[in-house]
Amino acid sequence: MYFVNTSVGDFPPGLTWPASLQSLYVFNTKTVDVKHLKMPPTSTLLDFWNVTEIENLDELYLPDSLTVMYFSNCTVQVIPPSLVWPKSLEKLTLIDNHLQDLPHNLPDGVTFLSIHKNYVDNLGISLPKNLSVLKFRDNRVKEVVNWDFTNLYYFRMKRNPVTRIDNVTFSSKLHYFDCEGCPLTVFNVDMTSFAALDALDPWDRNESRATIEFRGFNIIDNIHSDKAACDKLHGDIRQLWAGKSNVTVHVCVIGSPVNYTLVIVGISIGAVVLIAALTTYCCIKRRNLQKQLETYVAASPFGSGNQFTNGSTLDIAGNSTLGGLVHDLGDLEFLRVSGVELHKKLAEGAYGEVWKGSYNGAIVAVKRLLPNKSSPKDILNFINECKLMARFESPYVVKLYGVSWTRPVDFMAVMEFMDRGDLKSYLANHSPMAVSWEFKHKIMSHILEGLVYLHSMQIIHRDLKSRNVLLDSSDGETVKLTDFGVSKEDLQETMTVGVGTYRWMAPEILKEGHYSVAADIYSFGILLSELDTHKIPYAESRHPITHKPLVDTAIMSMVINGTLSPSFSTECPQWVHAIALRCLEHDPELRPSARQLVLELRRQSPHAK
């Protein structure tokens, strides 16, 4: 981690960087000359933010280890064609610049490309073949023609003057399509693309903001493709999203529906044999899974038979929660390990427990569900958490090594072991005077780095608190984030287990309204009060008349109304308190981003008062 800020000027020849440098942030400066910038081969992130002018960009050396690059609000008009991109580059963000053309020769490994708020008027001649996220909001693109977007799951062309989408192919991978404000008059697609688009539901702004996993379609204007022009292409006018939207979208579908009767008649004998073999295999596989599920049902806390307490019935065909369970377990087969041993129980929460264990001779942490929290829904949520963790590769996020199960009810996650436990226990076992603000500064920095990583992947943690921050003595003390349960405990249940997650929740979450990454920033502000006082949030809050500790519902109500904030001690450094107050703004729009806080923290001496 390294940062360079105001009036940096340039990087002189021979400048020595730490050998372990992973991230470099250059921000808030008028001019920077990058001719002699030589990052070490350990670097994975380069971020230019609010830089008025970047000189000699064509001579910038980019190590192949870089996977993430940002140019944000840098007034860059042209990315030099001679710039050699890192071979490992996966994510490129060029937001709020003056770009007029897309960069050339991007590596095929780039999966995420964001060009929001520039002056680009076309998509160029080629895009990375593995691209899955294309963000092009607020540019000047007039047409999207002749593109193979079958790998895309996210397509955003919002507020571009697009009048024509023609010969563009999508697939069932597509999860989000946004052309809000596009004055479309021509919209021609093939049958497969029509089916992929039509399968989308309307974009639910509430749900999308809660998860940042945008899904659905976002079109706010009627679109009427010309029938005469469609006839010339031997196409048919079809309505997209009929019955799903208040607007009418008529597109020209080119190509006739497949006549499956003729296809079946034309199948060769060899194909029939192949299908029969595959059918036999699938039947055997399904029978084995059914036996596994029957064993699960017999061992589950629901009792005998195949009726669950929520009234759902076991249906191997996939019509119940268990059907999804079979599918999701199959998705994790590549992570499956065996020979995991459990040694000592370390912690227990409302839904799961964590054990110290071993795998292949190494000490690991093993997470599993509580016996009374092993319904199909609980297991599916746990599986989804593991799917999410499998995507992570960050020094500030706990690693998932694998998963293990013999029956679904035995499902376990095998994770990196952090030998100093969680931050909540650490603070409870040490007085505030016994822990230096230099160490706390490091804790803050590592937590924010973890949030920057998650938010760059469009993931909200949603349960940031001291219990979900782990410490390790290796590498001079390491701090990492953990617990990425997709479905958190409901508020009613957290209130029955002592101190609930709600104490760290932003008011917009408690109100069940729209929320975003700013919710994590609010939780970080709450966590700063813990770092200061070594006590749980609102531990000192009392009823003004009875002087008794506030009950849970009172705390929630006061947080929602903006009349209660966590307390800070008189010994708390002013800079910490100032950061906390910004994070705890009741209006989420006024809270800083994790990236801004990382940069701010690097400017701040941990010894300042």
Residue 17, domain extent? 2-254
More confident residue, 491 or 371: 371
User: Cα–Cα distances in Å, from 206 out to 157, 212, 217, 508, 515?
Assistant: 21, 10, 14, 11, 8
State the average pLDDT over residues 461-480: 88
- What is the percent of the chain with per-residue pLDDT over 70, rounded to a whole number? 80
pLDDT in tens, 233-273: 889 999 999 999 999 999 999 974 333 334 334 444 554 54
Residue ending a domain, choose from 387, 417, 447: 417
User: Cα–Cα distances in Å, from 208 out to 166, 179, 214, 524?
Assistant: 28, 16, 5, 22
* Same-domain check for residues 400 and 378: yes
Q: Is 206 in contact with 185 (CB distance < 8 Å)?
A: no
**For the stretch 99-129, what's the b/e string if a residue is b when 16 or more beta carbons lie within 10 angstroms of its beta carbon?**
beebbeebbebbbbbbbbbbebeebeeebbe
* Same-domain check for residues 377 and 488: no
State the average pLDDT over residues 325-349: 83
Residue 499 has pLDDT above 80, yes or no: no
Residue ending a domain, choose from 254, 281, 302: 254
The pLDDT, as a whole number, for residue 325 is: 65
Residue 294 has pLDDT above 90, yes or no: no
The pLDDT, as a whole number, for residue 500 is: 47
* Same-domain check for residues 321 and 428: no
State the average pLDDT over residues 284-301: 42
State the average pLDDT over residues 545-567: 85
Q: What is the CATH number of the domain that holds 346?
A: 3.30.200.20
pLDDT in tens, 373-388: 778 888 888 888 898 8
* Same-domain check for residues 378 and 306: yes
On whether residue 75 sits in a domain, the answer given is: yes
Pairing of strands 362-369, 352-359: antiparallel
* Same-domain check for residues 505 and 550: yes
Establish whether 472 is a catalytic residue: no
* Same-domain check for residues 223 and 114: yes
Q: Coil, strand, or helix at residue 450?
A: helix
On whether residue 460 sits in a domain, the answer given is: yes
* Same-domain check for residues 269 and 241: no
Domains contained in the chain, number: 3
The Cα–Cα gap between 287 and 285 comes to 5
Burial class (CB in 10 A: 0-12, 13-18, 19+), 452: buried
On whether residue 608 sits in a domain, the answer given is: no
Pairing of strands 400-404, 478-481: unpaired
* Same-domain check for residues 595 and 482: yes
On whether residue 112 sits in a domain, the answer given is: yes
Residues 6+ apart with CB under 8 A from 480: 395, 396, 397, 398, 416, 418, 446, 450, 469, 470, 472
* One-letter identity of residue 550: L
Residue 403 has pLDDT above 60, yes or no: yes
Residue 443 has pLDDT above 90, yes or no: yes
Q: Which of 463, 483, 532, 552 is catalytic?
A: 463
Q: Is 209 left (phi over 0), alpha (psi -120 to 50) or beta?
A: alpha
* Same-domain check for residues 87 and 173: yes
**Dihedral pair phi/psi, residue 381, rounded to 5°:** -65, -40
Residue 125 has pLDDT above 80, yes or no: no
On whether residue 265 sits in a domain, the answer given is: yes
State the average pLDDT over residues 335-356: 89
* Same-domain check for residues 445 and 431: yes
The pLDDT, as a whole number, for residue 489 is: 38
Residue ending a domain, choose from 195, 228, 254: 254
Residues 6+ apart with CB under 8 A from 421: 346, 347, 470, 471
* Tokens 């994590």 belong to residue: 520
List the structure tokens of 330: 């199959």
pLDDT in tens, 521-538: 999 999 999 999 999 998
The Cα–Cα gap between 64 and 315 comes to 49
Residues 6+ apart with CB under 8 A from 38: 11, 15, 17, 61
Predicted confidence band of residue 280 (pLDDT cuts 50, 70, 90): low
The pLDDT, as a whole number, for residue 264 is: 37
* Same-domain check for residues 240 and 321: no
Pairing of strands 469-472, 478-481: antiparallel
Q: What is the CATH number of the domain that holds 572?
A: 1.10.510.10
Nearest C-alpha neighbor of 451 from the set 294, 598, 303, 601: 598
The Cα–Cα gap between 545 and 551 comes to 13
Q: H or E segment at 30? A: strand 23-33
Map 71-122 to HEC letters: EECCCCCCCCCCCCCCCCCCEEEEECCCCCCCCCCCCCCCCEEECCCCCCCC
* Same-domain check for residues 97 and 224: yes
